[in-house]
Structures are given as structure tokens and as C-alpha cells.
Chains A and B, each alone.
Chain A
Amino acid sequence: MDDEKIVDLYWERSELAIAETSIKYGKYCRTIALNILSNHLDAQECENDTYIAAWNTIPPTRPLKLLVFLGRLTRNIALDRYDYNTAKKRNGKFNVLLSELEECIPSVYNVESQYESGQVSNVISNFLSSIDSEIRVMFIRRYWYSDSLKDISKQLGISESKLKSILFRTRNKLKVYLEKEGILYEQ
């Protein structure tokens, strides 16, 4: 079933919407959650929570890209679950990913500026649009889909060390870009 029809089902308040979402995007959502949580049971619960969140937000929302919409919901739900789980134990793999992102964030946040919702992500989008498409795919697979370095390197047919090196340079470039755009800066 195409996405538009699935969204129509949500608007009609038909429970088939969830069934169709599950068929088409269940594994996709579960994979994103699993990348963050490294726990199949938690990932399954996140997937279910994603369906509930979609049910509760459509309508009034009418997502243009259902795949991205569901992925974002899953990401945020899984991150909240990660926070909850962190109190008990850490997911080492995702913690590594988060620590990589620290390299993009200068020590001082520009407190003088108030950022409107989406402003920082817009700048990140502009940066990503400006770089080579292959590197962009690597970056987004790592930091949006939260894929492991091993999986990305295997899928792309490049060595893990090369991938790490590319991501390292890209994070540094992003940091410089953010500073240049006045979003973040170092004192």
C-alpha cells in the first residue's frame, strides 16, 4: 500500500492504518530503535510506541514523507528510552555514537542567541547539502539511522578505518560550519 493511502487510513481512524504501517515500516522502525538501544525487547516496544504516536498525531498532522515521519518518531522514542535505560545500564554502542557527536559541539553554546525551532537542524541540512553525496550518505546513515560503523563499512564496501576517518573529518567540518553560521562557537 502506498504511503498516501496509509495516511488516509489514519485520517479515517481505521485501525488498518497501524497494520499497514507495521507491514511496510515495522522492520525499518525496529532497526532504528535497535541501533539506539541494542535490545530487541526495547526495540519492539519502541516500534509499538511509534505506532501509537503516529495514531495520536495523524490527524491533525499529515506527513508528506511517512517514512521520515515514522523514523523521527522512532528515533525520539528510542532516545527517551535510552535516557531511561541509562540510569540502569548503558548501551555502549550508542554511547560511542553520542561521544562522536560531541566533537561537533564546541565547548560554549551561543547563549546570546535564541534559536527558533528547526534553526540548528536547518544549518546542519545546509552543511550536509554542501558536501559530497557519498560522504553525506555515510554521515546520515551513522547519525540519523544510527547504523553501526561495521554495518556501514560493510554495506559501502569500504574499510571501517576509512569510514571512521571520513566521519571524523566531516564532524570537524560540521563544527567549523556551525561556528561560521553563528550557531555554536568556541571562546
Chain B
Amino acid sequence: MNNKQFYREIGEIDEDLIEEARIVQKKCSSNKSSPNKSWIKLVTVAASFALIVGVAGIGISLINSRNNPFHLSLSKGNIQVYYTNNAASMQQDYNLVSLSEEELLTKRDTTIFKGTIVEIRNIIVNMDGDELYMAIAKINVSKVYRGNCNENDTISVLLPCPISNHVWVEDSGTVSAMREGMTGIFMPIQYSESYAREQNGTKLYYKDIADYGILDGERYAFLETEKGLVFSNLAYKSISNAKTLDEVETYIKSMIN
């Protein structure tokens, strides 16, 4: 067997393994952090690999309110962040690294709290010409399970993709379902100066635009919606039939204590 034959053998390995390693992201923000942070190694692998495929991007019509730039005190290079009024007709596609329930809840130092979304605004991050579409949710905290925030705090959380009825994001069903007024249990990471994204010779410190960030669009929130509880049933198989946030709360407490 020579190396080319061996390379072909590797080509036939288990499809699930290949999918696990394939991370795709399109314009949806990658919450890339510094090398020293453990969370980059799993979920942010998803963001960090950032292999972009398959965006149709047909008919993107953005009406931007570019008169509201953020004050980026830490970020370096030619970066602008704007609120945008629309993010219509944009198709995005990315996959996630598989993680066990235990890994999702314990491997990264996420803050876990119950709260109500009081505002969601889409943003555009322009990193020297490359535009990323994300959103910032302001969430009023009502109960804290883990982390430094307090009840009645209103914190800003960076969402990895824009929120719109017209945006379809594969593997981002939970975040895509977020709407103002919705109550949920959220598990964001608290940004420090270690969390940054480098692109086109620029460096965006996420702390400049939000206090916290959701690591991916699927597995770090549980939402109470008109259509019932929205969360990743596949990621949390042991509570896949949960109907209420109370059930989720009981589950989370049992996992983190």
C-alpha cells in the first residue's frame, strides 16, 4: 500500500466523521477567539474553520442605517459596525461540530440565565471590505444559573447571524427563531479582550460590540415561543420531549451542579 492508496482509504472513512470536521459558514459571524481559550477548540472550530459555501445571496436588499457606528475602542484596523434595518433574502449554510450534552454544558465557561429579549437589532460588521451580518439582542435577566450577571441586568448578546423572517440559516434554527418579547434560557459566553476575530488585516474585539456572544445558532438557547419550546432536540436528546422552560431549567441545574 502506498501513500496514495492510503489517502484513498482515508477518503472512505465514516461519513459522520467527515461531516463533523466540515464546518461551513457564510457571512454568519464566526466567534473566533484567542488561541488560549478552550471554547475555540470545539464549538468555535465551527466558526473558525469558516469554510464558506453555498450562499445564494440572491436579491440582497439592505437598507442600512449607517449613521450609528459603534465606538470600537479595542478593535484595530479598518472596521465599521452599523445597525441595519433589513437582512432580507439571504441564504446561509453552515454546519456544527458535534458535541455531547455534557460538553455543551460544561466544557466551556458559558453564562447560563433565564431572561426576556427586549430588543434585537441586526448589524453589519465591515472588516476592510468583508461584510458580516449578525445581530445584537438585549436580554433582561430574570434568573441566573451560572455566571457573573445578576437578576434585572439587561445585557447585550451578539448573535451569530441576522434575525429576519427571510433569512434561512441551516443549523441555526434556535437563534433564527428569536424575537423581541420572547423568554428563554440562554447560554452565551462572556466576552473579554481574549475574544477577537482577525480578518483582512483587521482585528475585531467582540467586547467592543457586545457583552456576551452565542457560540452557535442552534445549541445555546432554549426559547419559549408561540409554537412551543424551540431548542436543539438533536443536541439535547435526553430532554428532546421537553415542553416547558421549567423542564429545561431542572435539566440544566442537574447537569451543572
Return chain B residues, CB-CB under 8 Å to A157. 32-35, 40, 44, 48
Determine whether the beta carbon of A64 is less than 8 Å from that of B15.
Answer: yes
Determine whether the beta carbon of B6 is less than 8 Å from that of A104.
Answer: yes
Determine whether the beta carbon of A23 is less than 8 Å from that of B45.
Answer: no
CB nearest neighbor in A for B41? A134
Q: Mostly helix, strand, loop or mixed at chain A's interface?
A: helix
> How many angstroms from the CA of A137 to the CA of B42 in the assembled complex?
9
Determine whether the beta carbon of B49 is less than 8 Å from that of A155.
Answer: yes
Given A24-B53, A105-B2, A120-B9, check contact A65 B15 (CB 8 Å).
yes
Determine whether the beta carbon of A105 is less than 8 Å from that of B20.
Answer: no
Return chain A residues, CB-CB under 8 Å to B17. 125, 128-129, 136, 140
- Out of A23, A99, A137, A141, name the residue touching B56 (CB < 8 Å): A23
A interface residue numbers (CB < 8 A to B): 23-28, 31, 64-65, 67-68, 71-72, 75-76, 79, 83, 97-99, 101-102, 104-105, 109, 118, 120-121, 124-125, 128-129, 133-134, 136-137, 140-141, 143-145, 155-159, 184
Can you list 15 A-B contacts with CB-CB less than 8 angstroms, sorted by A residue number?
A23-B56, A27-B52, A68-B15, A71-B22, A75-B11, A83-B4, A129-B14, A133-B20, A134-B41, A134-B45, A136-B20, A143-B10, A155-B45, A156-B41, A158-B35
Give the total of B residues in contact with A, Cβ under 8 Å.
42
- Out of A24, A102, A129, A134, name the residue touching B42 (CB < 8 Å): A134
Return chain B residues, CB-CB under 8 Å to A120. 1, 9
Determine whether the beta carbon of A72 is less than 8 Å from that of B56.
Answer: no
> How many angstroms from the CA of A137 to the CA of B98 in the assembled complex?
11
Return chain A residues, CB-CB under 8 Å to B6. 101, 104-105
Interface 1/0s, chain B 50-90, versus A by CB < 8 A? 11111010000000000000000000000000000000000
